[in-house]
Structure formats: C-alpha cells, structure tokens
Amino acid sequence: MRYLNSAHYIDMVSKTGSIRAAAESLSITSTALNRRILAMEAELGVAIFERLPHGVRLSTAGELLVHHMRNQLSDMERVKAQIADLAGARRGHVAIACSQALLPYYLPTQIALYRKSHPNVTFSVHLRDREEAEQALVDHTADIAIVYEPARLGAFMTRVRVHQPIQAVVRPDHPLAAHKTVRLRACLDYPIALPTSSYGVRYLLDIAAQSSSLQLEPVIQSDSFEFLRNHAISENIVTFHFPIGLSDHTMTGDMISCPLDPRDVPAGVLYVGQLKGRTLPTAADRFADQLSASLAQQYDAF
C-alpha cells in the first residue's frame, strides 16, 4: 500500500498548495513529505509540482497524475467497503456536498436513518453552492452532490431530480397565511426578505420578476436561510424558501408556508448526483439510493 500512501500524500499537497501545510495535516515532517515527492518525480522523470515563492502548484503532468491517483484512491475505498460487507461489517465513509436548504432537517434525518442500520459508516457534509459541489465531485472530495439547478457540468450523473416549488414563508398571523397558493405580486405588497443572488431561490425569483415587470426590493438580504426564517418571525415579513428546508418550522406552527403560483414562478429542481463514470464506494452508493427513494416518495420526481 506504499504507493497508495504516496498518492494520498501528493493529493493532499495538491489540495493545500503547500508541502508544509500538507505535512501538518498528514502528521509527518515536511522533509519526509518532500522526499516522497522527489522520489515520485525521479521515478516519473518529470516534475509533479512547480515550486513557487509561496507554495507549490501542480504541473501539467502533475494534474494528469493526481487525477489518476484520485481514481485509484476512490477505487480502493470502494474495495475496502466491499470487503467489509463480505465480513458482515457495514463500514465506509460518505462525503456529501450540498445546498444550504438540505442542512437543517432533511440530511440529518436521512443520515440518522442510514446510520441506524449501518452505525460504522461515517459522514462528512459540506455546504457548497452548485459550482463548488460539482467541482468537489471532480476532485473526489465529495461522493454525492445535492444541488439546485441549473446543473451544467458534463461529468454530472443525475441519480434523481425532483421539483421544489418556491414557498412564501410567513408567520401564522400574516395576511398571506390563509392562502393555499399566493401570487408573487401579492407578496410584494408587503416587506420581503430575500437570499442573496448566488442561491437558487433568488435566481428563480429574479427571473420571474423580470418577466412580469415587477421590482424585488428586499428590506433584508442574507446568505443564511436560517437568519431569513427567524427574521421573518421577528418582524412578520415575507421570505421565501424551498420546501425541503421548512418541514420542522411549519410543523411547529411558528411559520406558515404556501407555494407561489406556478404561473408566476416555476418550481426549482433539486438534483442528487455523482461523478459520471465513477463507481461509488458501497456506503455512498447505498446512501445515494436511500436519498433517491426518499426524495421520489416525498416530491414530484421526473
């Protein structure tokens, strides 16, 4: 396994851009790590890294090598998981990159459900926007990405996609709370709080407003949906969210959500996917299956 250890070391240097920082993360000396790199470069007959005044970066040959190494490391994790399955021990690790809406309620519930049957499986969950999540798949720092449209990456393989109608979210005593659906124009009769432009909710609202010649003039903007929800309770104003991030709030009665009329704002689309052509480790593959089945059961899959 010495080669795989070297692969892991070189991959870490490529991610940190620094031999010293990578050595600290790996709990080895920078001298020992540099020797590993020099030995690999001598074997290949080409420089893997370009030495810079402050750090290192991959050479063209190094980029090819690291891509190959990441595939090998991923395959080894999959084989380890399969061997563990043969022994009856459900082990493995699942790395997830996802949109903010998944973090408060949906993913904690799904991970707890999975670990109830497979307590030896570990997880890492990281907040990433769509572009960052897709890059994490390419870098093999994530097994699964759960993001909102549009997904333009050619290497993204969709496991499931579901509609997510944007919800107007208000306190129970707000005038809009009694509506089963609400028009966007009616929401704009009241103060509104909006997410920043990098989020899918805002993207869809901006397009809808432009096509209807409406003006979105938020009194509050934030990149935190948790803040927007709580502020909507405090000030009794209108905010907007995808339904997957709202269940607990609406169940407690602290907030009411009603879908925006689809004539005004189209539904968002939530994608669960992985890197095209990659065979996921067993634990990640089974968790992706669980997510796909759960989302298809709860929402409109297509």
- Note the pLDDT tens digit of each residue in 228-248: 988 888 999 999 999 998 876
Apex CA 149: angle with CA 146 and CA 151, to 5°?
80
pTM (predicted TM-score): 0.72
Residue type, 23: A
If 0-12 CB within 10 Å is exposed, 13-18 middle and 19+ buried, where does residue 7 land?
A: buried
Report pLDDT for 167: 94
Which CATH architecture is the domain 166-266 placed in? 3-Layer(aba) Sandwich (3.40)
What is the CATH topology of the domain spanning 2-65?
Answer: Arc Repressor Mutant, subunit A (1.10.10)
Convert 242-273 to b/e letters by CB count within 10 Å (16 or more is b). Answer: bbbbbeebbeeeebbbbbbbeebbebbbbbbb
Residues of the chain with CATH 1.10.10.10: 2-65
Report pLDDT for 75: 80
- Note the pLDDT tens digit of each residue in 49-74: 998 888 899 999 888 888 888 888 87
Q: Which of 40, 107, 290, 133 is nearest to 14 (CA)?
A: 40
- Give the pairing of strands 256-259 and 167-170: antiparallel
Assign domain 90-157+278-294 to its CATH superfamily. Answer: Periplasmic binding protein-like II (3.40.190.10)
CB atoms within 10 A of CB 196: 12
**47-55: long-range pairs with CB below 8 Å, 24+:** 48/10, 49/13, 49/14, 55/17, 55/18, 55/19
Structural tokens at position 195: 């997410």
Residues of the chain with CATH 3.40.190.10: 90-157+278-294
Residues of the chain with CATH 3.40.190.290: 166-266
Query: Of all residues in the chain, what percent carry a pLDDT higher than 70?
Result: 93
Residues of the chain with pLDDT under 50: 88, 251
